[in-house]
Structure 1
């Protein structure tokens, strides 16, 4: 999922820190904050026919509330709830108005034992493996097809991976931290592709030593195994046959020193049926530098695709190179602008484009 984050704190001539959430209540160990952002941008992106399409659009405006209370000196309860809304459309338009849908919503307990939570939030492989390479304003390098992100926010249909989760994250022991969890889909849920309840396991570990860190994550994707409802290619699975979604895993090494951050990633999606979805290897390199008035950043990713005979019969490309470039400029501690460009090495230059925009955070 896209998250707008300014990696380097607003500094330099501004001499100020980034905008903070507003605390509306803080008494007797209980604290409540509100926060959010307005994001409006312009984009021009090529469609599948190679024609440029442009628009002014909302780039993920969010309103959030978070709170915590001290249960005892070693245990704190907390919650977080975010909602998205469209900042670019007039009231009464055909688009959804106001606060349209929830984003991250979860609650949990944290203390000396670590952190345990339940609800909806970004996947672990997103946070620990993908984001260090690109976590930009609009364009990113692509993720696996099960992640649903094609880099330009036009195929984010599988946000279902973020919900119905439980997770435990350990404290840091000598630089080492681990996380384990599961996404549970009960038999009463409409999005469950199976007739029975199922828990899909995910887990990972991260080690940090000074400015260097390395993280590895595995996701079983078991909730996407199920029965095919339609024929897929001439030699692919037929309607009524079972489909195995496969597995996803990755590893990222990251180095951060003062204003410079560099990350190197290997990510693999191992298909359970490569006549439907191909095996995918992604080798990524990303870097971000804070120049005092904002950030400049770049990312490169090589995508290697290897599908079965049926998949190859209807797909010409088995590999591609992806490049994303961008920069931000800080107007104030709460407001900044950005410009980004991306090249995805696809037929008809699909999804190549530029985007410019502004963000106001509170």
Structure 2
């Protein structure tokens, strides 16, 4: 087995990035490995140009055939950058195991993505787009995803909260559990393609960590895409709301007040409900290159009785993103992406956040 593993690892460069490299396959056990190195050179308003690790990853997957269409599986995803400095820490991003049936779907348990991660169709960007508000990952998840039935498939997740019931003061702690559901449809009719995604999540949160202060946070996203030949167009709508007067987080902006730049996190404004719409389009110019553009509209409203009562009007966002990529081959892609984000709070215009990036991804 050791010789098989070594030979396969040496030959990884010859593997299509869309498929994992099988490094062991014997007696019903299959071991696969895949990954990517993702580097991004980016300039953001009021910050120096920076070189970043944009989620480089190494994934190991084991599958054991147990008969009658069933198999057991285990998956580990390793990341290399945790605190912003490239390669500063190797850590386990996801770790889970479960079962798969060829005609039913997959049921897994562990630290993993939820169904919510797959919801949304309009984000054609590499880094700057995306508005999905459905809970997309957690540390302790039971996840089910069905196989396709006539273009349809469904997903459902249960998210566990903190197992500790009492704190050091013998107060009952919050049970921050939740659930996620999703429905997907994707079908092609010749060169014409149509897709719809919808997802909803509800999870408990508590700012103090106590059960007495628990509240629900809901997330919802729905999107549709129409494609024909080399062209695709999609629209997503996303919504997130906290129960009562509690807050939800919403993006970050750089403020310009009287010529003084302030890096202002929007979380400080205690928004209670946020809504966003994203419109995306892409066109495959050649076999190796495509162009794409996204527009994002956003609106965030405060809870009644917020301590930030001076902010009387909803916050607003308009964002414009465009990019082009080029694939040297099936393993290497480079891209240029620019974005302009415009925020308004209480009728006052905040500084324009401009972002420029050149990226490279090498798959194996």
TM-score normalised per structure 1: 0.75
Which runs of no fewer than 5 residues in structure 2 stay unpaired?
1-14, 248-270, 344-348
Name the structure 2 match of 1:218: 200
Matched, 1:105 2:95: yes
Following the alignment from structure 1 to structure 2, what is the Cα–Cα distance between the partners of residues 220 and 359?
Answer: 34
Residue 284, structure 1, aligned to residue 278, structure 2: yes
Partner of 1:13: none
Q: 1: CA distance between counterparts of 2:176 and 2:216?
A: 14
* CA positional deviation for 1:315: 7.3
Measured against aligned partners, the alpha-carbon deviations of 1:80-103 in whole angstroms (never above 9, x if no partner) come to 21111149x9xxxx9474652222
Match of 1:327 among 324, 332, 336: 324
- Equivalence for 1:166: 142
Q: Is the 8 A contact 1:141 1:323 kept in 2?
A: no
**In structure 2, do the counterparts of structure 1 residues 174 and 40 end up closer, same or farther at CA, with 3 Å as the change threshold?**
closer
Report the secondary structure of 1:188's partner residue: coil
Structure-1 separation of matches of 2:172 and 2:232: 42
- Greater CA drift, 310-319 or 243-252: 310-319
Q: Pick from 314, 321, 342: which aligns with 1:345?
A: 342
1:272 corresponds to = 243
Q: Residue 190 and residue 162 in structure 1: after superposition, are their counterparts in 2 closer, same or farther (change >3 A)?
A: farther
182-191 or 59-68: which moved more?
A: 182-191
Shift of 1:329: 0.8
Match in the other structure for 2:265:
none
Deviation at 1:218, TM superposition (A): 0.9
RMSD of aligned residue pairs (Cα, Å): 3.2
Secondary structure, in 3 states, of the residue corresponding to 2:338?
Answer: strand
- Assess if the C-alpha contact under 8 Å between 2:339 and 2:354 holds in 1: yes
Could you say which structure has the higher strand fraction? 2
Task: Pick closer, same or farther for the CA change 1:264–1:95 going to 2, 3 Å.
Answer: closer
Q: How does 1:84-99 map to 2 (within 5 A)?
A: 84-86=79-81, 95=85, 97=87
The change in CA–CA distance for 1:96 and 1:208 in structure 2 (over 3 A counts) is closer
Q: How do 1:1-362 residues align onto structure 2 when only pairs under 5 Å count?
A: 18=17, 20-46=19-45, 51-86=46-81, 95=85, 97=87, 100-111=90-101, 112-129=103-120, 132-134=121-123, 136-142=125-131, 144=133, 161-188=137-164, 195=173, 197=175, 199-210=177-188, 211-222=193-204, 224=205, 226-228=206-208, 242-274=213-245, 276=247, 277-291=271-285, 292-309=287-304, 310=306, 311=308, 313-314=310-311, 318-346=315-343, 348-349=350-351, 351-362=353-364
Check whether the contact 2:63–2:74 (CA below 8 A) recurs between aligned residues: yes
* Superposed displacement of residue 107, structure 1: 1.8
Give the length in aligned residue pairs. Answer: 311
Distance in 1, Cα, partners of 2:146 & 2:80:
34
Deviations 1:149-174 (A, max 9, x none): xxxxxxxxxx8x43210022233333
Residues 127-164 of structure 1 show CA distances to partners (whole Å, capped at 9, x for unaligned) of 122xx2216322124555x96xxxxxxxxxxx8x4321
Q: Which runs of 5+ in 1 are unaligned?
A: 1-15, 148-158, 230-238
Report the alpha carbon displacement of residue 306 of structure 1 after superposing the two structures with TM: 1.9
CA contact (8 A) 2:242 2:273 kept: yes
Structure of larger gyration radius: 2
When structure 1 is superposed on structure 2, of 288-297 and 69-78 the one drifting more is 288-297
SS in 2 for 1:322: strand
Find the aligned partners of 1:121 and 1:350 in 2 and give their Cα distance: 35
Q: What is the CA deviation profile of residues 327-359 of structure 1, one whole-angstrom value per residue up to 9, with x for unaligned ones?
A: 111122211111111112125435421010211
Larger RCO of the pair (alpha carbons < 8 Å, separation 6+): 1
In 2, Cα distance between the equivalents of 1:108 and 1:187? 22
Find the aligned partners of 1:121 and 1:217 in 2 and give their Cα distance. 17
Q: 1:154 is matched with which residue?
A: none
Per the alignment, do residues 209 and 329 of structure 1 end up closer, same or farther by CA in structure 2, a change over 3 Å counting? closer
2:263 match:
none
